[in-house]
Amino acid sequence: MATSDDDIRLPLRTMQIITFALAAGVVIFMAIVGFLGLRDGSNRAPGQLPIITIIAFAMLAADFAMTLIVPRQIVAAGIQRIAQSRVSGDLKMLLGLRQTSLIITLALFEGPAFVGCVAFLIERQVYALAVPILALVGMAMHFPTENSLRDWLERHGRQVLELRQT
Q: How confident is the model over 79-93, as pLDDT tens digits?
A: 999 999 877 889 999
Q: Can you give the pTM of this predicted structure?
A: 0.89
With cut-offs at 50, 70 and 90, classify the pLDDT of residue 46: low
What is the residue extent of each domain of the chain? 5-41+49-165
Least confident of 11-15, 121-125, 155-159: 121-125
Helices then strands, each counted (H, E), the chain: 5, 0
